Amino acid sequence: MPILTEDRRTGTVPPPPFKPSGGRGDDGSPDSGSSSFPIPKGQLGVWILLTAIIMLFAGLSSAYIVLRGVPAWQNIELPWLLWPNTTILLLSSVAIDISRRAVRRGDLQSMKRWLASGGILGVAFLVGQLAAWRQLVNAGVYLPSTLQSGFFYILTGLHGLHLLGGVIALGLVLAKALKNRLTAFNYEPLKLCAMYWHVMDALWVYLFLLLLLS
């Protein structure tokens, strides 16, 4: 007579049916565990990293909003270069997404082309941000000039560093692509890179609005 101790102890159902290992589109390794979690570990890792980055900027934004209320707050005139820079960054996101769609179709040539142009646009954005800093410096606005100028340099600088990380990652993905190691069935690195890039893009739009609307 079978005694289902499991049921009696916990009131839970018997163990779930086993899934055949492998073939989960994960990382292909047979030992990567058989948990039924729907997101592969690379993607989850990037999402966790992005959560940490978002919390960093959330903390800084809350400081920004609190200090906006103090009497000494003074707005600075934002450099006009930020507008073209924002456009460039948005275009780079578009390029990277076109590249992602291309690899899904199996159009590797187009994937490489658009990936490279996305990277070039990203570098152009970073150079543009430095030029925007230059504009501010020429206008006599430095880091300690006002509270907002301090935030401006810190927020744009931190965002720039995070995007620089994205550019480096994109460079590595591009190197992989040029060695023809990305295919329509295995383009996980490109997917992760695109995810990170889009969030950095959205983060910039948010920061720009935060700086603009105070």
Q: Which is nearer to other proteins, 123 or 143 (CB)?
A: 143
Query: CB of 180 within 8 A of CB of 172?
Result: no
| Cα three-residue angle 25-31-32, rounded to 5 degrees | 50
Binders in 68-127 for other proteins, by CB under 8 A: 70-73
Which tokens go with 82? 């930020």
Strand partners for 183: 186
CB 197, min distance to other proteins, A: 19
- Phi, psi (deg, nearest 5) at residue 33: 85, 160
Stretch that binds other proteins, among 24-32, 78-86, 114-122, 169-177 (CB under 8 A): 24-32
Confirm or reject binding of residue 29 to other proteins (CB under 8 A): yes
Q: Which amino acid is at 201?
A: D
Binding mask 122-141 for other proteins (x = CB under 8 A): --------------------
Strand partners for 186: 183
C-alpha–C-alpha distance, residues 213 and 7, integer Å: 59
CB 45, min distance to other proteins, A: 5
The candidate with the shortest Cα–Cα distance to 205, out of 93, 62, 130, 48, is 93
Query: CB of 42 within 8 A of CB of 196?
Result: no
Which tokens go with 100? 């992602």
CB 77, min distance to other proteins, A: 18
Q: Which is nearer to other proteins, 94 or 158 (CB)?
A: 158
Q: Which is nearer to other proteins, 2 or 77 (CB)?
A: 2
DSSP state of 77: P
Q: Which is nearer to other proteins, 158 or 195 (CB)?
A: 158
CB 63, min distance to other proteins, A: 6
Binding mask 157-186 for other proteins (x = CB under 8 A): -x----------------------------
C-alpha–C-alpha distance, residues 198 and 93, integer Å: 6
Neighbour count for residue 60 (Cβ, 10 Å): 16
Stretch that binds other proteins, among 20-28, 116-124, 169-177, 190-198 (CB under 8 A): 20-28
Which residues contact other proteins by CB under 8 A?
1-7, 9-10, 12, 14-16, 18-19, 21, 26-27, 29, 31-35, 37, 39-41, 44-45, 48-49, 51-53, 55-60, 62-63, 66-67, 70-73, 143-144, 146-147, 150, 154, 158
